[in-house]
Amino acid sequence: MLKLLIGNKNYSSWSMRPWVLLKQAGIPFEEVKVRFDSFDASSTFKKTLAGVTPTAKVPVLQDGDLAIWDTLAIAEYVAEQFPDKQLWPAERTARARARSICAEMHSGFTGLRGNCPMNIEAHLPDTGALIWRDKPAVRSDLERIISMWSALLQEHGGPMLFGAFTVADAYFAPVCMRIQTYALPVPPVVQAYIDRVCALPGVKAWIDDARAEQDFLDFEEPYRLQR
């Protein structure tokens, strides 16, 4: 059976992507949570991962002796191993666009990611309002996301970005979490998509687990002193 090593569900946006992909697609896997204690070389987190992946980061997918340690690589590997799950759009052009927006997420949106770290359990609308006022990079990133999602939903008719659930929806699920946590302003069509993503069984399961963790980590909390 596949084994997926992840970090804290409340905070680890990168871990959320492959977990949701596997869960929503109904692909069996064993979850191994490696709790964030710190990211120093001497931390239990780093020591646990040192023998598994050269990056000592999560997520990591293990298939026997093989370790895949990048989210895009994990998505591609799983899609190849389970072609019947149709994790990428079947049509060539749509598939290329889905890969393009996932790669854009992988390397971009640093304003949103840096200023609005994922924190599913928290509700920080006042913080979000200040971020929105003071951080033009966040406004620029969200403008691009709104444009992207709106166009894809219109073109493919929903309910997901390319009609049926694909890697792209799993990849942007943490963005949905950020928009919710910080109450960032989005138009109704985008909010409706976010609501549909949150209602997916695989996403809802992650959200429920994140809220149940009860693990407050100060180094992941730039905006709160306590829960």
* Domain 92-210 grouped into CATH 3.40.1690.10: no
Per-residue pLDDT tens for 188-225? Answer: 999 999 999 999 999 999 999 999 999 999 999 999 99
Cβ contacts of 119 within 8 Å, gap of 6 or more: 10, 11, 181, 220, 221
Residues carrying CATH 3.40.30.10, the chain: 2-85+214-220
Strand order in the sheet with 29-33: 29-33, 2-6, 60-63, 66-68
Average per-residue pLDDT for the chain: 97
Kindly state the average pLDDT of the residues 106-114. 97
Residues carrying CATH 1.20.1050.10, the chain: 92-210
What is residue 45's predicted lDDT score, i.e. its pLDDT? 96
The C-alpha atoms of residue 217 and residue 117 are separated, in whole angstroms, by 13
What is residue 4's predicted lDDT score, i.e. its pLDDT? 98
pLDDT at 51 over 90: no
Give Cα separations from 177 to 97, 197, 223 (angstroms): 23, 10, 16
Token pair recorded at residue 116: 């609005």
Sign of CA dihedral 102, 98, 121, 192: positive
CATH number of 2-85+214-220: 3.40.30.10
